[in-house]
Each structure stands twice: as C-alpha cells, then as structure tokens.
Structure 1
Amino acid sequence: MHILIAPNAFKNALDAQEVAACIRSGLLASSLPCTCECFPVGDGGNGTGALIVDRLGGKRIELTVKDPLGRPVSAFYGWIDNGSVAVIEMADASGLHLLKQHELNPLRTSSYGTGQLMDAALDAGAKEIILCMGGSATVDGGTGILAALGVRFLDRAGREILDLPSGLERLHHIDCSSVDRRINDCRIVVLCDVLNPLLGPAGASAVFGPQKGATPDMVGQLESILEQFAKVIESETGIAISHVESGGVAGGASAGLKGVLNAELVNGIDYFLQLTQFQQALAESNLVITGEGSIDNQTLQGKAPFGVAKMAKELNLPVIGLAGIVPLKQDVELEHYFDMLLAIGNGPARLDEAIPATATNLERTARQLGNLITSCR
C-alpha cells in the first residue's frame, strides 16, 4: 500500500511539514506494510509560500524589510520556474507573529514590508508574483503594499496621507502616477484561503480585526476606513471591491490589490495543488490522508483538506481526515469526500493542553490507523 500524506498545518501547533512527518512516523511504526509520500499542502494561509518554494525546488532570497510597525525584519521571497516567478509569504514581512500582544493595533500596522518584497522581486526580473496572504497583522486594505510600490493616497487638499491605515478616512484620491511601471507587465496572483468579502458583518474588519487586536470601537473605525477606500477605488478605476469574493483576505489586502493593480484572486488550495502537480502524486497512491486543526462543514468552503479530498475522489481514492476537532453528528456532505474522519485527541483536554500534545496524538492515531487497516486486510 502506498499512502499519500497531504495535511495542512494544525494552527498554533505544527506546520504542515511537521504534521506530515508525524503521520508518516505513526504509519511506519504500525503493523501495516506500506510506503508513504509526504506532500504537505497549503491554501494561501501562513506557510504556503515556503511549501511552494520547497516543493518546486526553488531558492530563497533573504533581505531586510519593514515589519508591521516599521521596524527592520529579515524576510524572503522565493524564485521558481527558472527565476521568472516570485513567491511571497505576506506573514514573513507583515505577520501577526512578529508582534507582541501589547503591540497589536490594526489602525497602525502596515503591510509596507510585503510591498518591499514585491519591489525587490520586480528588481530581480519577476514576470509573475504569487502572494500567500495568511497570517497578516494588518487591516489596511493593502495600502502599505501599494505605498511601497509608489501609490500615493491623497486627501481633498492634495496632501499625502502618511498615517496608514487610520488616515484613510480622509482619502479623496489615489495617485498612481509614480507606480513602478514594471508592475503593469507582471501577473499578480493572490492565493485566498477564505471567501469573506471586504465589507460587512463577514468582512475584513468584523471577522479578522479582533484577531489582530481591534477593539469593538476599532472594528467600526476600520470598517469606515475600508468603505471610503473602496468608494474611491471604484470611482477612479471602475472596479467594485466592496463585496468581491475573498476580498477580505489579509485585512482587505486582496481587495486593494485587485482594485488598484488588477490582481487575480484565486482559490488557494486549488491553485496550490495544480502548481505543485499534486495529481501526479495521487495517481501513484492507494490511500490519501489529509487533515488540519478542525474539519467541519466550513472545510467545504475551500479549505485545504477539502481541495485534497475533492481531487482524490476524482480518482476514486479513499480519503481519511485527521483533525483536532471533527463533527459530533453525521455530516452527509463531508462523508461524500471523506471516508473517515478521526479526532486525534485521547481524552477531554483544555486547548492549552491539547496543542502541545498534537505531535504525540497524530503519531498515535496514525499508528492505530495502520494497525486497523492491517487487521481489516
């Protein structure tokens, strides 16, 4: 039996490579005679860029850029496809993990460093830029990225707004006359891991603002800021970004880049699987194991395990999903894609107890799963 192990990260516990390694270790320790291929996956969330670069044998270019508060931080962009395509991990320069708890303030944090990575990739000759936007600390509509590429945000008097994103309430005009012209010849692809729009109760401010330190008052202010931003973009470019699908990714950065730079917003996991030629690995497999921290009906909205399972089912392969949390009740929709869902916990536990035990629980569950398959055969 050849088993393809294709999990996403277990958030706050293990990255996707670590999860795959734990599952493989458990299977090989079982009584099941098998071979395994680890094929960790990403859907645009934190770590996806590194997975793409590693899988495709790319190289990393390290440089110093600004973190969300303007301090120097080391970050990288990756080269694939013989150096014509740059892969950028937004979290590397503008990530939530770069800030301490007391520093979280999405009215002040900026995505400028990610724009610096894009500018460096253009300097190196990039003809396409793949942006993985998960894990950002910002709700700035991508204005930091755009500012780093030469976009100027002006108030009614023609003065440049420098206090981004809070100053966008005064936004009257977007000046693109100094934008790096090389961007016009560069395809920009944004890998999206959620469907949330820019505005509204399911939008960037309401849903993701609190995760990045926004108080209820801040959420209202951020919503007003992004509303004004969207209004000006539509009046000047004709592109309506307020309710575009996945416009809320990375605090609205996806919408901002679509509106100003005509970036392409794509389903993250589908794009990842196609780019990394996942179907070739599937064709050689007898069983697929995927997973992430939680698998439920929301997984079917484009999360990584769903993308893996959907492609596996096109080849009639059995799929097993491992997760920290699975539905208590039967879910017919999930059963259409997953032959078995297993919660890896070994008993009731608080979150602060369960997270450190993730590796052990994954290995144990995979070992027992291998033993079960042996018994059934």
Structure 2
Amino acid sequence: MKPTRVLIAPNAFKHSLDATAVALAIQEGLQKSTLDCVCKCFPVGDGGDGTGALIIQKHKGTLVSVQVSDPFDRKITSLFGLVNEGDTAIIEMANASGIQLVKPEELNPLRATSFGTGELIKAALDKGVKKFVLAIGGSATVDGGTGILRALGIRFLDAANNELTIPERLTALTRIDLSNLDQRILACDITILCDVENTLLGDEGSAAVFGPQKGATPNGVKKLDASLATFAQVARQQTGIDMTIVRHGGAAGGVAAGLHTFLNARLVNGIDFFLEFTGFSEVLANADLVITGEGSIDEQTLHGKGPFGVAYQAKQKNLPVIGLAGKIPLEQNAKLNQYFDVLLAVGNGPTDMTTALGCTEQNLVRTAWQLGNLLAMNSR
C-alpha cells in the first residue's frame, strides 16, 4: 500500500506561531505516528502577518533593506522583497507600520500613521518596480492610508492650509492636494491582499472593529470613525469615489479604501491571490489528504480566511480536509462541515490564554501524532 500523501497547508496561529512553524509542528507529529505518510509543507498566508515573507520565499525573491519611519515617526530598518526578476515588490505593512514594532503601552491609533509603508513603496519605485503586492495585516494604524499617501506626495490640509499628519486631526480636513503625488505610482499595478470584508465606517467599520485591537478607547474609536468619515467625504468631493462602500475598504485601518481611491489599487481576497500566485493547485494535485488550520476556525473563517481558501480548493478535488485550531465551535456547524471533514482543537484541557499560546507548538505536535495514529488504524 502506498504512503498517504499529506499536504500540510496551515495559516499562522496569531500571537503564537507563524505558518511555517505550524506546518513543521504538524509534520513532526505525523512523522512520529504510525501512519505511513509522505508530508508536503505548504504554509499559507491570507494577507495577515507573514504573508509577504512566504510569497518572497516561495518565489525565491531578494530582500531590500530600507530606513523608514515606524508608526510614531521613529527611524527603523525595514525590508521589502523583489520577485519576478525585480519587476514586482512584495511589501508587508507590518514591517514598517506594524503593531509588533510598538510597545503595548505605546499603542495609540489616534497618532500612529502608515507613513513608513509609503516609504517602502517609494524605495521600491526607485528600484524600477512596476507591480506591487501589499500584505496589510498586523498594522498599528487606523489612518485610512493617509500616511502612505503622504509619503508619496499627497498633502492633507485644513482650512488654513496647515498639513494634517495624524489621524485624530483629519476631522479638520478640507482639501487634499494631489499636485506633488509621485507620478510613477500611477503607472503601477497595485494589488492589496485583504483577509477581511469590512467597509470603512460604522459598527462593522475599520475604527469600531480594529481600533480597540490597536489601543483605541471607546472614545478613541468615535474620534477615529469621525476622522475617517471626514476623509471619505472630502475624498468623494475631489475624486467622485465613495470609499465608504468599498468591499474590503476597512482592512488595515482603512488603508485598503485609501489606496483604492487615490492609487486605483485592486483589493482582492488575500488567500485566493496567495494560492494562485504561489502555485498551490500544482501541489494539491499530488495530495491524498489536506491538513490546514489557524488559531481559531469558526464561521468567520468562511469569509476569506486562509483555512477556508485551502479547504475550498481541496474540496474542488474531492479531497478530505482536516482543520486544526486552538479554538473550534462547540457544536456541529453545517456551513463548516461542507469544507472540513474533521475539526480538532489542539488544546490539552482548560487553561488561560497566555499558557495556551505558549504551548501551541507542543499541542500541535501531540494532536498531529494522535491524528496520524487514528488515520493509520483506519487504513489497516
């Protein structure tokens, strides 16, 4: 009997392990089990932290080091990648404007900006890049992308022609000056990878949903929403584009909406783009079983998250799919059951979040080992 060909294609487990580490832990557990198998690791990204690094790695790209500004205008050394013979830049927003660059006590989305990500884009333009792929997960900002746009030459002005440089001041915005925009960017193809579908404003908007994760108080959320609303209103007056209705527009603190409006960026489902750009279908063709996973698998997973993208394509090939997660629904879920044959929680009993996050790797190894033994019994 031939060995079972297992394709291991997990997303990152947020705040714990990146996708590569998750895949290797699952592989270790399976190889320790009694299952006769051949494993292929194919870690995935849906636009969240680490997506860009995976794309660069899979395309054997080169890294470029650049001095940029962090979310609070402090100079740091950051990176972007070049693939396709230098024609395409892969930029991770988290590398310049990320929440991991800021101490927890410093988090303040009323003042944090995405300017550093714009500096990465400008550095890539200087390299002659014509295409951009932006992974925008993990940001510390809710500035509507105004920081990026400022780095590229756009000015946001109040009634007295004072430049507005932080999100909390955008409520005073009356005019957007495009005269100094770097014209090179308008000739480029820009693709933004999104892992959420939220629009810009309101209860399901950028400030309300993501602001608290980035340090916003309830009052801060109201201020940010008002700032983004003013930005959207002035932008519509000048461009004719209503950024408040753009699907995915609320991603990364509204960066998606801002860049779509002013740079004609394409907003795409991150996992779908990733799987196509990295040749997932070719790998899938040589699998008998697919294992995916991330920190939590629930109905939200079906809205553009990594495991859903993997499971959807696997089901098109009639392959069995197993999902591993730190958290899964307590009850059977008919929608999830269409794509996941089995969902397994990797925890080893009730525990606090900090302990659980610290034990993710060993929990994955143990769960995969038990899973492998179970599959081996079934194949006898």
What TM-score, normalized to structure 2? 0.98
* Map of 2:145 onto structure 1: 142
Displacement of 1:73 in angstroms is 1.2
| AA partner of residue 101 (structure 1) | P
What is the alpha-carbon distance in structure 2 between the residues aligned to residue 235 and residue 37 of structure 1? 52
Pairing of 1:168-183 with structure 2 (within 5 A): 168-183=170-185
Match for 2:227 among 222, 225, 228? Answer: 225
What SS does the corresponding residue of 1:359 show, helix, strand or coil? helix
Q: What's the CA shift string for 1:213-264, capped at 9, x where partnerless?
A: 1111111111110000000111111111113111111110110111111111
What is the alpha-carbon distance in structure 2 between the residues aligned to residue 271 and residue 224 of structure 1? 32
What is the alpha-carbon distance in structure 2 between the residues aligned to residue 160 and residue 200 of structure 1? 26
What SS does the corresponding residue of 1:4 show, helix, strand or coil? strand
* Map of 1:37 onto structure 2: 40
Q: What's the CA shift string for 1:102-143, capped at 9, x where partnerless?
A: 211111101000000000000001111111000000001001
What is the alpha-carbon distance in structure 2 between the residues aligned to residue 160 and residue 210 of structure 1? 27
Displacement of 1:352 in angstroms is 1.4
What TM-score, normalized to structure 1? 0.99
Match for 2:128 among 125, 129, 132? Answer: 125
Q: What's the CA shift string for 1:193-222, capped at 9, x where partnerless?
A: 101110000001111111111111111111
Match for 2:108 among 105, 113, 118? Answer: 105
Match for 1:212 among 194, 211, 214? Answer: 214
Match for 1:9 among 2, 9, 12? Answer: 12
Displacement of 1:353 in angstroms is 1.4
* Map of 2:335 onto structure 1: 333
Equivalent pairs, count: 376
Q: What's the CA shift string for 1:321-368, capped at 9, x where partnerless?
A: 000111111111111100100011111111111111110010011011
What is the alpha-carbon distance in structure 1 between the residues aligned to residue 325 and residue 243 of structure 2? 34
* Map of 1:152 onto structure 2: 155
What is the alpha-carbon distance in structure 2 between the residues aligned to residue 253 and residue 246 of structure 1? 10
What is the alpha-carbon distance in structure 2 between the residues aligned to residue 347 and residue 358 of structure 1? 13
What is the alpha-carbon distance in structure 2 between the residues aligned to residue 80 and residue 3 of structure 1? 28
Pair 1:95 & 2:87 matched? no
Q: Percent identity?
A: 56
What is the alpha-carbon distance in structure 2 between the residues aligned to residue 90 and residue 184 of structure 1? 20
Q: What's the CA shift string for 1:58-116, capped at 9, x where partnerless?
A: 11111111000111111111011111000000000000011112211111101000000
* Map of 1:245 onto structure 2: 247
What SS does the corresponding residue of 2:63 show, helix, strand or coil? strand
What SS does the corresponding residue of 2:295 show, helix, strand or coil? strand
Pair 1:266 & 2:251 matched? no
What is the alpha-carbon distance in structure 1 between the residues aligned to residue 162 and residue 220 of structure 2? 25
What is the alpha-carbon distance in structure 1 between the residues aligned to residue 363 and residue 175 of structure 2? 54
| AA partner of residue 373 (structure 1) | L
Tell me whether 151-160 or 221-230 shows the greater mean CA deviation: 151-160
Q: Report the RMSD for the aligned CA atoms in angstroms.
A: 0.8
What is the alpha-carbon distance in structure 1 between the residues aligned to residue 171 and residue 329 of structure 2? 43
| AA partner of residue 242 (structure 1) | T
What is the alpha-carbon distance in structure 2 between the residues aligned to residue 61 and residue 160 of structure 1? 31
What is the alpha-carbon distance in structure 2 between the residues aligned to residue 161 and residue 299 of structure 1? 37
| AA partner of residue 157 (structure 1) | A
Displacement of 1:158 in angstroms is 2.7
| AA partner of residue 356 (structure 2) | A
